[in-house]
Amino acid sequence: MRRLNNTDDWEATERQIATITGASSLQAVEDGKGRLWLFWIYADAIWASRRGTDDMWTSPVQVSVGSQIIPKLAVLRDYLGDIWLFWAAGDQGASAPRIFNQRYRIAVDQWDSPARFTDSPPLHFTPAVIEHNRALWVFWWHSPILPPDGGLPSGPRSPMSLQLYIRKFLPDV
């Protein structure tokens, strides 16, 4: 980790804050209380660490468990200071992933349970999220058919057709 200091210069040295083998999709966000959070995916679970007031990072904690989590995590802080996570994973043992979300409520200092965000089959993946005028806009790729091998598309030159979906919603307070 390196941070930009108040003189617009980067810190002179890097600091190691954790050792995690096999993790992916590192994301960082600041909550409404000014605390920094790190999130990553490891072993079909989403993990988090938070920087405390003493400038030390908490031990990693498991925030959410999934099935066949796809290593792409979208993270956002909303206008209330709450944190939102969006990810794609298999749904109750199904191989076709859906988008899920989970919210950290700053007012009560706790996580909601994960919720399925998309329903239409068969493939949803690579979520992105932004807030605009107090509404969350969530984008994701959708494939109306499974690839011939039943897995995910192999890359940008995959022969399957992908559609970009969007859903706007207003978070409850």
- pTM summary value: 0.77
Q: What is the pLDDT of residue 93?
A: 55
Domain-located, residue 107: yes
- The Cα-based distances of 171 to 6, 51, 67, 98, 127 in angstroms read 34, 26, 26, 20, 17
- What are the average pLDDT values for consecutive 10-residue runs of the chain, which has 173 residues? 58 66 82 92 86 81 77 89 89 70 94 85 79 87 62 50 70 70
Task: Give me the CATH number covering residue 156.
Answer: 2.115.10.20
Domain-located, residue 157: yes
**Which class for 70: exposed (0-12), middle (13-18), buried (19 or more C-beta within 10 A)?**
buried
Domain-located, residue 17: no
Domain-located, residue 10: no
Closest CA to 83 of 27, 167, 18: 27
**What residues are paired with 30 via a beta bridge?**
36
**Are the CB atoms for 39 and 46 separated by under 8 Å?**
yes
- The Cα-based distances of 119 to 68, 123, 139 in angstroms read 17, 10, 14
Q: How many domains does the chain have?
A: 1
Q: Write out the DSSP string of 125-143.
A: EEEEEEEETTEEEEEEEEE
Domain-located, residue 3: no
Q: What is the pLDDT of residue 109?
A: 92
For the record, the structure tokens of 111 come out as: 């996580």
Domain that holds residue 119: 24-169
Domain-located, residue 19: no
